[in-house]
Amino acid sequence: MEFSVTLLFAGLLIVLLCLVIVRSRSKYCLPPGPSALPIIGNVLQLDKKAPFKTFLKLSESLGPVLTVYLGRQRTVVLVGYEAVKEALVDQADDFTGRGPVPLLLRATRGYGLGVSNGERWRQLRRFTLTTLRDFGMGRKGMEQWTQEESRHLVARIDCTKAQPFDPQFFLSCTVSNVICCLVFGQRFSYEDQQFNSLLRIIADTLKFGSGPWGQLYNVFPRLMDMLPGPHHKVFANFEKLRDFMMIKIQEHQDTLNPSSPRDYIDCFLTRLNQEKHNLATEFHYDNLVSTVMNLFLAGTETTSSTMRYALNVLIRYPKIQEKMQQEIDTVIGQERSPFMEDKKSLPFTDAVLHEVQRMMDIVPMSIPHYTLKDVSFRGYTIPKDTMVIPLLHSVLREEKHWETPWSFNPQHFLDENGNFKNNPAFIPFSAGKRNCVGESLARMELFLFMVSLLQRFTFSCPDGPDSVDLSPAFSGFGNLPRIYQFIATPRW
């Protein structure tokens, strides 16, 4: 009898949830979507290794704007350049919200630039962009820091003596040190054990977020918190990362000179002190800690992974590597450091690096947006509190914008005369008001580091170019490149 009552209750609950979903669809003119199950939504229909592939497939029959349910979270997916641009650029104010991604919320405790909305987001983004520019992001000062860091990278690779090595560690240290100069006002030695530990935490976190466990956590966070699994280790590591940030912030606080700021933390602390009596200010300790974490994470693994993928490409296609070296030798030579102004004289090199970013497709689903009010879009009504996924993967692979979207082809960025040409569908950093704040820095790093490496070395793989697989090792939140042992043969 007791079992029958429980079964009846469960059945009524399922019917009730079904009615809620149906009522929601009838109340609003939602974009079309597949039928969803109660509680779990469309989760069982998704490709577990690469959910963005499922969205792309659904769009073939449902169109470029579709509705799915990730668990109970209503989600609208935008497919193709036109739909993504219309939302993020043409209707930018309607789509500035940031989706409450459980993994990010847990890591940041809901504070900081990455997960914020409304006035908090506006204050932090304006301040962060202004401060990073003041310290040279995209300018000569930052260029000099990057050139200096590239010399450390070249020296370290030179020590491998043309023997096979794993480039992941070297590239992560190098790229992270650039953002560390901006945020902490210092670089760290390659031998710094604490620094190395933090870099491993960042790499492991991105792998977790791109794997099935990370995706499962984002759909069912409360359930996952009660169950054993690798997510508990990930969050424990986040606390180590947070502790490091807090120590650095305290060091800055103890030596702060408001009239002579050294870096981002100094500027934030100065603003915090200026507004400490303003109850509406967003310049407080919690936002400082989480924003510094945002910058450190975003400024490390994404660019270093892109460089690693670029080297995979050049090893896979040695003729492309050779042509880049010839162009670099002609324009810059092998001795002086490259400058950003050299880019306009290196169209083939620039085209290859753009194609690397297009093919890598590092964040295929972008970081989800969120509707903070009911939004009208293409004849549909997207209700408040709806997750919005601009499918960047679909933009970077759209046949109408790319001649050979599924193969590596630098000609996508070259005109008939061999001059560099841009493509509006090239948006690996997303678009609109919530595009990546570090875009100009990432572009600078990729160009200066890769040109410096190709001036000095020719890269190969012990098992030959055909052994290099350019498909991602992990696909989910991020597409991560496969790891290979490289051989860096000095050119002189």
Instruction: Give the pLDDT confidence of 66-75 residue by residue, as tens digits.
Output: 999 999 999 9
Q: Which strands make up the sheet holding 97-98, listed edge to edge?
A: 65-70, 73-79, 387-391, 369-370, 97-98
The confidence score (pLDDT) of residue 208 equals 87
Are the beta carbons of 223 and 302 closer than 8 angstroms?
A: no
Domain that holds residue 96: 2-108
Are the beta carbons of 324 and 454 closer than 8 angstroms?
A: yes
The confidence score (pLDDT) of residue 8 equals 43
In 3D space, the residue among 371, 405, 449, 386 whose CA is nearest the CA of residue 149 turns out to be 449
Q: Are strands 369-370 and 375-377 parallel, antiparallel or unpaired?
A: unpaired
Cβ atoms within 10 Å of 139's Cβ, excluding its own:
14
Instruction: Give the pLDDT confidence of 174-226 residue by residue, as tens digits.
Output: 999 999 999 999 999 999 999 999 999 988 888 888 888 888 898 899 999 99
Domain boundary pick from 61, 82, 108: 108
Query: In terms of domains, do 65 and 192 share one?
Result: no
Query: In terms of domains, do 165 and 91 share one?
Result: no
Are the beta carbons of 92 and 388 closer than 8 angstroms?
A: no
Within a domain: residue 436?
Answer: yes
In 3D space, the residue among 286, 296, 243, 234 whose CA is nearest the CA of residue 102 turns out to be 234
Within a domain: residue 388?
Answer: no
The confidence score (pLDDT) of residue 11 equals 46
The confidence score (pLDDT) of residue 28 equals 74
Are the beta carbons of 439 and 138 closer than 8 angstroms?
A: no
Query: In terms of domains, do 62 and 90 share one?
Result: yes
Within a domain: residue 392?
Answer: no
Q: How many domains does the chain have?
A: 2
Domain boundary pick from 81, 108, 135: 108
Domain boundary pick from 76, 108, 140: 108
Query: In terms of domains, do 157 and 191 share one?
Result: yes
Query: In terms of domains, do 329 and 445 share one?
Result: yes
Query: In terms of domains, do 44 and 123 share one?
Result: no
* CA separation for the pair 14, 6 (Å, rounded): 12
CATH number for the domain spanning 355: value is: 1.10.630.10
Query: In terms of domains, do 193 and 271 share one?
Result: yes
The confidence score (pLDDT) of residue 408 equals 97
Query: In terms of domains, do 469 and 337 share one?
Result: yes
The confidence score (pLDDT) of residue 311 equals 98
Q: Are strands 387-391 and 73-79 parallel, antiparallel or unpaired?
A: parallel
* End-to-end alpha carbon distance in the chain: 85
Query: In terms of domains, do 156 and 98 share one?
Result: no
Within a domain: residue 383?
Answer: no
The confidence score (pLDDT) of residue 398 equals 97
pLDDT in tens, the chain (492 residues): 444 434 444 444 444 444 444 444 456 799 999 999 999 999 999 988 889 999 999 999 999 999 999 999 999 999 999 999 999 999 999 999 998 899 989 989 999 999 999 999 999 999 999 998 887 665 557 888 899 999 999 999 999 999 999 999 999 999 999 999 999 999 999 999 999 999 999 888 888 888 888 888 988 999 999 989 999 999 999 899 999 999 999 999 999 999 999 999 999 999 999 999 998 899 999 999 999 999 988 888 889 999 999 999 999 999 999 999 999 999 999 889 999 999 999 999 999 999 999 999 999 999 999 999 999 999 999 999 999 999 999 999 999 999 999 999 999 999 999 999 999 999 999 999 999 998 999 999 999 999 999 999 999 999 999 999 999 887 777 889 999 999 999 998
Within a domain: residue 213?
Answer: yes
The confidence score (pLDDT) of residue 212 equals 83
Within a domain: residue 379?
Answer: no
Query: In terms of domains, do 227 and 198 share one?
Result: yes
Query: In terms of domains, do 280 and 357 share one?
Result: yes
Within a domain: residue 386?
Answer: no
The confidence score (pLDDT) of residue 140 equals 59
The confidence score (pLDDT) of residue 12 equals 44
Within a domain: residue 256?
Answer: yes
Query: In terms of domains, do 74 and 173 share one?
Result: no
pTM confidence score: 0.91
